[in-house]
Amino acid sequence: MTEQFLQYVWFQKLFSPVQVTSSGESVEVIDVGKLNTDAGPDVFNAKVKINDTLWAGNVEFHQKSSDWARHGHTQNPAYNSVILHVVFDIDAIIYRADGSEIPQIRLNFSSHLLEQYEVLQQQNSFVACEKQLGKVSSVHLHNWLDRLLVERLEQKTHVIETLLNQTTNNWEEVFYIVLARNFGFSTNALAFELLAKSLPLNILAKHKNSLMQLEALLFGQAGLLEKNNTDDAYVTQLKNEYHFLRTKYQLEPIDYSLWKLLRLRPANFPTVRLAQFATLIHQSSKLFSKILETTSYHELRPLFQCEVSDYWLTHYLFGESSKLVSKKLSKSSIDSLLINTVVPFLFHYGKVNNNEELVERSFDLLSNMSPEKNYIVTGFEKCGIKSHSAYDSQALIQLKRGYCDLHKCLQCHISKQVLYAKL
């Protein structure tokens, strides 16, 4: 039993209408008030009727009455406005700083509700309520998934907002940094991000007409040329180009040890990803601006279809020849870039500029993309919730990572139905 559970019962009004203080006075809750997320009492602006007197003020929650003194509230003037103390176990009389006694109740609610909550908290399955998910109404579920998607996009835009503040609102630069990070596809995301931050977009723009110079800058700044002893003509040319450009722009490469190859398929090696990224920059101009003007998924995908240069068609690593293989970005890779880069930018740019059309476009884009394939999507499908698009899969990822994995059942809007279901 936790304070959070008591608060859940309180705000969801799942308690009995008949409440009695420890001194035997009747209590009627007129208004549950609002949750206080700052310092001070848990709830402000509540209204309760104790016997025949209407009280307006704050409410505090604890597991036990004695927690009041243990938390130092007795001498804290911020708690003088508390009109009711709500607990699970009354084991002490409590007072305000002026010595007046504070009414307190042991919140009366269904014992079944607590049993359900405790069972959920003890579950060790894919999600705690997986046996009950099939009983949740589709309307209730989809309303919650809509909110979860917005929540996920808002979380993703925190990074964008931070970078905008660091770059004096340079949207093209921030888009380049975030796109680079997502080119690392989790394993090398940090290395790609640090590389992009070490190599401003305006430098790359000056050399976008030369794929060789772009590759020299990217491989050089990645730290992959410095200790490379390969002596083929391509690597030698890269080194010569980078040496000149590094001196010209006073560049400092990142630590090459940041890059990871272990357990990666060759097509995902950082060398291949960097070669693809170089081609993308080579064939693009003001990519973010183009994305703002592009209205559909089928128009966006070609912007990210980039083949590597001739050398990388027959190599995965420097100096090691391989069979000639096309190394264009796969459909799933492009979709990942659209989901994790383009969609959050459309959403945030639309919000910042009061452009509801762009916000809706971000939702439409997800709705027209296939759902992701991962253990979360598969797990929910086994529980009876199938993803029909990336819109659904993104919402379910937010549900799993932001609520289920953290045991935040009480903050999940599915819980109100689940807590009453029979296990």
Boundaries of every domain in the chain: 3-109, 167-367
Retrieve residue 241's tokens.
Answer: 């180009």
pLDDT of residue 423: 36
* DSSP 8-state secondary structure symbol assigned to residue 133: G
Check whether 324 has a pLDDT greater than 80. Answer: yes
Identity of residue 50:
I
Distance CA(333)–CA(330), nearest Å, equals 5
pLDDT of residue 421: 55
Contact, 317 vs 286, CB < 8 A? no
420 confidence band (pLDDT: 50, 70, 90)? low
Section 8-31 average pLDDT: 90
Distance CA(337)–CA(164), nearest Å, equals 19
Question: What is the model's pTM?
Answer: 0.80
Section 335-347 average pLDDT: 97
The region of weakest confidence among 144-148, 201-205, 262-266, 324-328 is 262-266
Contact, 176 vs 196, CB < 8 A? yes
Helical axes 390-399 vs 138-166, angle rounded to 10°:
80
Residue of 64, 61, 58, 62 whose CA lies nearest to 77? 58
Three-state secondary-structure class, residue 409: helix
Distance CA(79)–CA(44), nearest Å, equals 11
Three-state secondary-structure class, residue 395: helix
Distance CA(157)–CA(347), nearest Å, equals 8
Section 42-70 average pLDDT: 94
316 confidence band (pLDDT: 50, 70, 90)? very high
Distance CA(155)–CA(330), nearest Å, equals 27
Distance CA(231)–CA(219), nearest Å, equals 16
pLDDT of residue 422: 46
Distance CA(274)–CA(316), nearest Å, equals 11
DSSP sequence for 339-354? IIIIHHHHHHHHHHTT
The 10s digit of each residue's pLDDT in 42-53 is: 999 999 999 999
Three-state secondary-structure class, residue 1: coil
Contact, 48 vs 28, CB < 8 A? yes
Distance CA(298)–CA(368), nearest Å, equals 9
% residues pLDDT > 70 (the chain): 98
Burial category of 60 from C-beta neighbours within 10 Å (exposed 0-12, middle 13-18, buried 19 and up): buried
Show contacts of 11-15: CB within 8 Å, 24+ apart.
11/35, 12/416, 14/109, 14/110, 14/113, 15/107, 15/108, 15/109
pLDDT of residue 416: 67
For the chain, what is the largest distance between any 2 Cα atoms, rounded to a whole number of angstroms? Answer: 92
The 10s digit of each residue's pLDDT in 116-170 is: 777 777 767 898 888 778 778 889 899 999 999 999 999 999 999 999 999 999 9
Distance CA(173)–CA(5), nearest Å, equals 45
Check whether 245 has a pLDDT greater than 90. Answer: yes
Helical axes 270-283 vs 171-183, angle rounded to 10°:
150
Three-state secondary-structure class, residue 124: coil
